[in-house]
Amino acid sequence: MLSTAFLLSMSLLAGILTGIIGMASLTLYPVLISIGIAPVTANATITVATVGAGLGTVISSLRELKNHWRTAILVALISTGGSILGALILIHSSNTGFKRIVPFFILLAGILLLRPNKKEPRSNLRQSTFIVTVNWLSVMLIGLYNGFFGAASGLLMIAVLSKVIGGKYATYNAIRNFASFCNNCVSGIMFICLLPIQWSVIGPLLIGLFIGGYIGPVIVRYVPEKVIKKVVGAVAIILALVLGWQAY
């Protein structure tokens, strides 16, 4: 009973973070590791459960997605293509190797979260074809990373979409939510077919992630993103150090 309540509360938090900036893996990975689930199985289980969060975030983001569905579908198609490749890499990864590389991903996530955004001068706002191409390629590469692990993939996608799409944070965050939902649906199906899933924890994770995923985009409309990034970034760096110490 206590472990179920713990999983529900942590998945609720993870769902909220997913809706804000995409941090389900970052939040739930150490939780599942702490209850004895192997690293690769933990990540595969989180991906399957995160479909619940994705559904919640998309429903909650319908207001922002209005008039932006063509862009959202394009981003989803490109990033999902990369996600399939990332999922295949995870399927052929060892638990030991995976456990050793995860702290570096989480550390990078924390650094990116805490790094201040630099505003480009007005003269640089006009992007060349090359820059646009690189940005769209980055969307695919982030999808690849999302299929493999996904910690901070939401932040990376936000950074790219802010350049590709522009406009309000809430708008390209909603597009990211939709793309992540598509990524996790495809990767989740692959993992169910090819990897062991810890089905005993899926129920509490799905419930918490769905509710939290619905709440996240609502928070984005009211809370300054700088505050959210600083808090999550600090936690990410501490977590990376703890997991790194355990792995090495």
- What is residue 166's predicted lDDT score, i.e. its pLDDT? 72
What confidence tier does 162 reach under pLDDT thresholds 50, 70, 90? confident
- What is residue 46's predicted lDDT score, i.e. its pLDDT? 92
Question: Whole domain around residue 237: which residue ranges?
Answer: 2-247
- What is residue 122's predicted lDDT score, i.e. its pLDDT? 46
Taking the C-alpha atoms of residue 79 and residue 9, their distance in angstroms, rounded to an integer, is 30
Selection from 158, 193, 194 nearest residue 175 by Cα: 158
Please check the confidence at residue 173 and state whether its pLDDT lies above 60: yes
Taking the C-alpha atoms of residue 86 and residue 236, their distance in angstroms, rounded to an integer, is 22
Stated as kind and residue range, the H or E segment containing 212 is helix 202-220
Please state the pTM of the whole predicted model. 0.79
More confident residue, 27 or 118: 27
- Helix 69-91 crosses helix 129-148 at what angle (to 10 degrees)? 50
Residue matched to tokens 């928070």: 219
Q: How many domains does one find in the chain?
A: 1
Residues 164, 232, 60: CA angle, nearest 5 degrees: 60
Please check the confidence at residue 96 and state whether its pLDDT lies above 80: no
- What is residue 98's predicted lDDT score, i.e. its pLDDT? 62
pLDDT digits (tens, 9 = 90+) for 134-150: 878 888 888 887 777 76
- What is residue 131's predicted lDDT score, i.e. its pLDDT? 75
CA torsion sign for 104, 105, 106, 111 is positive
What dihedral do alpha carbons 59, 60, 63, 67 form, nearest 10°?
-50
Taking the C-alpha atoms of residue 170 and residue 60, their distance in angstroms, rounded to an integer, is 11
